[in-house]
């Protein structure tokens, strides 16, 4: 490949990435809840939260036309300094899944720690058989092929906990948007 062809390829890739970022930014809206500001995709439908512990709740449409394929994204806030440690929440999240091969869910989880706008964000990506209730009292049976993306956010006024749970295909389609939302976090008073 000639230098000119390589330079053109790199330039097109940068322009293409910048254009995709602009389109993604235009497809989001800012939200402000429980002392946090963040961006969510326009296609995540904000719905009423069934409890005061849920500072915000969104419905994420599934990959097919049925509500059984939908996922939910929830921002939990229990009050400043409440809700448990990040480690305790990670352990609770691991306990909500079993693995088809019988291995511990902790071993199947992908945990990432980063700093965003002076907030410590610990996120987890975990798939398997979801054994917890989606909503208190729903009495649902274990759900195979389920995926959870969750994050504990630490900072002044926190902690906050974000969580998407739903069919693996739906959550996979929302994964980049979830990561972009976490990258957009800002504390406010």
pLDDT grade, residue 2 (50/70/90)? very low
Pairing verdict, β 110-116 and 160-167: unpaired
pLDDT above 70 for 25: no
Phi, psi (deg, nearest 5) at residue 54: -95, 105
55 inside domain: yes
List pLDDT tens digits, range 106-142: 999 999 999 999 999 999 999 999 998 755 566 678 9
Q: Which residues contact 110 (CB under 8 A, 6 or more apart)?
A: 124, 125, 126
Q: Which of 140, 123, 117, 85 is nearest to 187 (CA)?
A: 117
112 inside domain: yes
Which is more confidently placed, 13 or 117?
117
pLDDT above 60 for 28: yes
Report the pLDDT value the prediction gives residue 163, as an integer from 0 to 100. 98
Q: Which residues contact 168 (CB under 8 A, 6 or more apart)?
A: 127, 145, 146, 147
Residue 189: strand, helix, or coil:
coil
Domain region containing 109: 29-187
62 inside domain: yes
The total number of structural domains that make up the chain: 1
Question: How far apart are the C-alpha atoms of 181 and 140, rounded to whole Å?
Answer: 29
Question: How far apart are the C-alpha atoms of 8 and 2, rounded to whole Å?
Answer: 10
17 inside domain: no
Report the pLDDT value the prediction gives residue 137, as an integer from 0 to 100. 62
11 inside domain: no
CATH code of the domain in which 46 resides: 3.40.1000.10
Residue 91: strand, helix, or coil:
helix
Report the pLDDT value the prediction gives residue 65, as an integer from 0 to 100. 67
Report the pLDDT value the prediction gives residue 7, as an integer from 0 to 100. 37
169 inside domain: yes
38 inside domain: yes
For the chain, percent of residues with pLDDT exceeding 70: 82
For the chain, percent of residues with pLDDT exceeding 90: 76
Could you count the other beta carbons within 10 Å of the beta carbon of residue 79?
12
Q: Are 188 and 35 in contact (CB under 8 A)?
A: yes
List pLDDT tens digits, range 34-76: 999 999 999 999 999 999 999 999 999 997 767 789 999 999 9
174 inside domain: yes
pLDDT above 80 for 22: no
Mean pLDDT, the chain, integer: 87
pTM score, whole prediction: 0.83
Which is more confidently placed, 144 or 10?
144
Report the pLDDT value the prediction gives residue 135, as an integer from 0 to 100. 58
């Amino acid at each position: 490949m000639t230098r000119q062809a390589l330079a053109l390829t790199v330039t097109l890739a940068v322009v293409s990435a910048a254009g995709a970022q602009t389109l993604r930014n235009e497809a989001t809206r800012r939200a402000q809840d429980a002392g946090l500001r963040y961006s969510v995709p326009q296609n995540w439908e904000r719905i009423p939260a069934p409890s005061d512990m849920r500072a915000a709740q969104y419905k994420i449409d599934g990959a097919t036309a049925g509500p059984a394929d939908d996922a939910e994204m929830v921002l939990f806030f229990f009050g400043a300094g409440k809700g448990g440690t990040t480690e305790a929440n990670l352990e609770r999240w691991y306990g909500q899944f079993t693995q088809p091969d019988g291995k511990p869910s902790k071993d199947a989880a992908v945990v990432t720690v980063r700093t965003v706008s002076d907030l410590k964000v610990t996120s987890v990506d975990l798939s398997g058989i979801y054994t917890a209730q989606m909503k208190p009292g729903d009495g649902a049976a274990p759900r195979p092929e389920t995926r959870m993306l969750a994050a504990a956010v630490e900072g002044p006024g926190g902690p906050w906990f974000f969580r998407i749970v739903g069919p693996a295909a739906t959550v996979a389609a929302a994964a980049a948007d979830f990561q972009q939302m976490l990258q957009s976090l800002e504390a406010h008073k």
